[in-house]
Amino acid sequence: MTLVVDASAVAGWLLPDENGPDLAALVATHADFLAPWLLWAELRNILIVTERRGRLPQGLADQLIEAVEGLGILLDTAPSNAGVLSLARRHGLTVYDALYLDLAQRRGAMLSTLDAKLAQAARAEGVSLA
């Protein structure tokens, strides 16, 4: 089963003071991890902001990125379609978050997120959450 992961879920795996999903359980139950192309920019931004706020020692963000790259998350580079804007409008999402939901819909995949608004939109759209 394919699992679309958003940046909040991945950060939840990595940051010691976050309550993210159990990575080992997700790896055991999902064959592929998938994300829109913007995952890497969002994740790096989360980590650098976390470092600046003193929640991560300087340099640890680089090591965490290497660890995530080792997971082999597949990046979807397909251009967004009109459905992304429709999802964003319908659920009051950012376009960034709508990209994750759109990808899960297009691939018939589950979604992993710590974002309450995105999770609510996914449920409303019939997308299962992990």
> Would you list which residues are annotated within the binding site?
6, 97
Tokens at 86, concatenated: 């429709």
E strands, 1-125, in order: 2-5, 32-36, 74-76, 110-112
CA 99 to mean position of chain CA atoms:
10
CA atoms within a 13 Å half-sphere pointing along the CA-CB vector of 13: 19
Mark the binding-site residues for Mg(2+), compressed into ranges: 6, 97
